[in-house]
C-alpha cells in the first residue's frame, strides 16, 4: 500500500547537497517533507509536488515527514537536469524501481580504487576492529565516546551504513554532525543504500573500502534511521548483524557487538539484554566476537559461548555524558528516550569505546580466539 497526496511547497527549511527539508501545504494543512535533489533537482517555493504520505498515514517512525516523489513544475526536467546530476558510474541503486540511479562504485573499473579491489586479499581487514550495532542511535554515542581520549591522536572512524534502515544516508543528521565535528572521517553505503563518501556493491567491499580507501582505524557498521520489528523471534532488522559479524570475521577483522540493553523499555522482551541481542548471539555462538557489558547483566544473561569474549566494565555514571555531549548539537535519543531515561543503553556504547582505547589490536592474541578467551574475559575495564 502507498498513499499519495499533492502539495504546494510553502518554504524551504534547509537545503543540503543531498537533501532538502521543506514545508508543504496539503488540503489546507501544513506538513513537513523531505526531498532528495539528486533525483529531481532542487524544489522551489510555490511548486506543486506529489508526496508519498504512507509512513505518516500509518503513524510510523519516519519523524513525521512526507517524501517528494514527483514535481509538477517541469521547467527543470530534461537535458539540463540530466547533465547536472549525471554520474560517471554504471552501478545501479534502487534497481528496477522508478528511482533507480547510477553511482560510481568504489570497486568498478572506472573507479580510481579499482586496482586495489582487484588485488584484495581475504584477510584485508588485518585485525581491524569493527563495531556492529542494531540501531542508528548507537552511532553518535559510540563516536562521541571513542573521541573522548585526551592527549591522543583522533581515531579515523568510518561508518558503514547497513541496509536494515533508511537507504538514503542524507537522512541522518548525526552523520552530518559527526563529520562536521571531525569525529567521523567517512561514511560508506552499500547494496541499495546510497549517498556515502564511497558507494559499494556489497558489505564485503564496503569493509574493504573502509580499510583500503579511507585507512580506517575503527569501523562501525549500523543501519540508518528507521529499523523495523514485529515482536517475533526473527522478524526484526537487527538479524542482519549475524551476517555482518560473520563478514568481519571472514575478512580478518575483530567483530565487537554492541548489545541492545535497557532498564527503561516498557516492553518485557527488551528489558535487560534485549531478545534481539540474545537471538543474534545464539546464531553467532560459534563465531568469535567481543561484547562489552557489566557483571550485573552477565549474571542475568546466563551461560555464554566459549567463542565470545565478554569484557566487564564498571558502571558508567550518567553525568559522564554531559561532558561528552557538551559540544554536540544533537541530543542523544533512542526509542524516544534520552541519556537520563535510558543511561544503561548509552553506557554500552561507551564501554565498547573504552575497550578499543585500551587494547592493542596488532597483537597476535586476537587471532587464536579460543585459546585466549578465558584470559580476555577476566579483564575488567574502568572509566579513564
Please give the model's pTM, rounded to 2 decimal places: 0.90
Q: What is the pLDDT of residues 328-376, one digit of tens each?
A: 999 998 887 878 878 889 999 999 999 998 886 655 444 444 333 433 4
Those residues whose C-beta lies under 8 Å from the C-beta of residue 150, and which sit 6 or more positions away, are none
Q: Which three cell numbers stand for residue 243?
A: 551476517
Q: Which pairing describes strands 20-26 and 4-15: parallel, antiparallel, or unpaired?
A: antiparallel
In a domain? residue 109:
no
In a domain? residue 195:
yes
pLDDT mean over 60-77: 77
What ranges in the chain are assigned the alpha helix state H? 37-40, 54-58, 79-84, 114-118, 138-146, 173-180, 203-212, 240-250, 275-283, 295-301, 320-324, 343-358, 369-377
Residues 7/66, Cβ–Cβ less than 8 Å: yes
Those residues whose C-beta lies under 8 Å from the C-beta of residue 336, and which sit 6 or more positions away, are none
Maximum C-alpha span of the chain: 68
In a domain? residue 128:
yes
Where does a domain end: 79, 105, 122? 79
For the chain, how many structural domains are there in total? 2
Where does a domain end: 34, 64, 79? 79
In a domain? residue 99:
no
In a domain? residue 105:
no
Q: Which pairing describes strands 289-293 and 308-313: parallel, antiparallel, or unpaired?
A: parallel
Residues 182 and 69 in one domain: no
pLDDT at 84: 46
Residues 241 and 315 in one domain: yes
In a domain? residue 102:
no
Residues 173 and 126 in one domain: yes
**CATH number for 288:** 3.40.50
Q: What is the pLDDT of residues 88-119, one digit of tens each?
A: 799 999 999 988 999 999 999 999 999 999 99
Question: Residue 283 in 3-state DSSP?
Answer: helix
**CATH number for 56:** 2.40.50.220
Residues 70 and 183 in one domain: no
Residues 280 and 360 in one domain: yes
Residues 36/46, Cβ–Cβ less than 8 Å: no
In a domain? residue 346:
yes
Residues 46/9, Cβ–Cβ less than 8 Å: yes
Residues 199 and 244 in one domain: yes
Residues 74 and 165 in one domain: no
- Give the residue numbers spanning the domain of 297: 114-381
Amino acid at each position: 500500500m502507498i498513499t499519495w497526496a499533492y502539495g504546494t511547497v510553502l518554504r524551504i527549511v534547509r537545503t543540503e547537497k543531498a537533501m532538502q527539508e521543506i514545508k508543504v501545504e496539503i488540503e489546507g494543512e501544513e506538513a513537513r517533507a523531505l526531498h532528495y535533489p539528486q533525483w529531481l533537482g532542487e524544489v522551489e517555493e510555490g511548486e506543486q509536488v506529489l508526496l508519498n504520505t504512507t509512513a505518516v498515514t500509518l503513524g510510523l517512525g519516519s519523524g513525521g515527514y512526507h517524501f517528494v516523489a514527483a514535481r509538477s513544475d517541469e521547467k527543470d526536467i530534461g537535458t539540463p537536469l540530466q547533465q547536472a546530476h549525471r554520474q560517471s558510474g554504471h552501478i545501479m541503486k534502487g534497481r528496477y524501481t522508478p528511482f533507480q540511479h547510477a553511482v560510481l562504485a568504489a570497486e568498478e573499473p572506472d573507479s580510481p580504487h579499482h586496482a586495489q579491489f582487484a588485488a584484495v586479499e581475504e584477510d584485508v581487514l588485518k585485525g581491524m576492529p569493527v563495531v556492529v550495532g542494531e540501531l542508528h542511535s548507537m552511532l553518535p554515542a559510540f563516536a562521541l565516546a571513542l573521541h573522548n581520549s585526551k592527549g591522543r591522536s583522533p581515531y579515523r572512524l568510518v561508518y558503514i551504513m547497513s541496509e536494515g534502515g533508511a537507504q538514503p544516508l542524507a537522512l541522518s543528521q548525526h552523520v552530518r554532525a559527526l563529520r562536521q565535528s571531525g569525529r567521523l572521517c567517512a561514511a560508506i553505503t552499500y547494496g541499495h543504500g546510497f549517498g556515502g563518501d564511497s558507494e559499494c556493491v556489497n558489505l564485503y567491499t564496503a569493509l574493504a573500502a573502509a580499510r583500503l580507501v579511507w585507512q580506517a582505524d575503527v569501523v562501525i557498521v549500523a543501519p540508518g534511521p528507521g529499523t523495523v520489528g514485529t515482536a517475533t523471534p526473527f522478524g526484526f532488522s537487527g538479524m542482519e548483524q549475524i551476517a555482518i559479524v560473520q563478514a568481519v570475521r571472514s575478512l580478518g577483522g575483530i567483530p565487537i557487538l554492541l548489545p541492545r540493553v535497557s532498564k527503561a523499555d516498557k516492553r518485557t522482551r527488551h528489558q535487560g539484554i534485549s531478545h534481539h541481542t540474545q537471538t543474534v548471539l545464539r546464531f553467532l555462538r560459534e563465531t568469535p566476537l567481543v561484547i562489552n557489558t557489566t557483571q550485573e547483566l552477565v549474571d542475568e544473561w546466563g551461560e555464554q559461548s566459549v567463542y565470545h569474549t565478554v569484557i566487564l566494565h564498571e558502571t558508567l555514571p550518567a553525568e559522564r555524558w554531559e561532558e561528552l555531549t557538551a559540544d554536540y548539537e544533537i541530543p542523544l535519543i533512542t526509542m524516544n528516550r534520552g541519556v537520563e531515561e535510558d543511561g544503561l543503553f548509552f553506557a554500552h556504547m561507551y564501554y565498547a569505546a573504552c575497550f578499543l582505547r585500551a587494547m592493542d589490536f596488532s597483537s597476535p592474541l586476537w587471532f587464536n580466539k579460543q585459546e585466549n578467551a578465558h584470559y580476555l574475559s577476566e579483564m575488567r575495564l574502568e572509566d579513564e
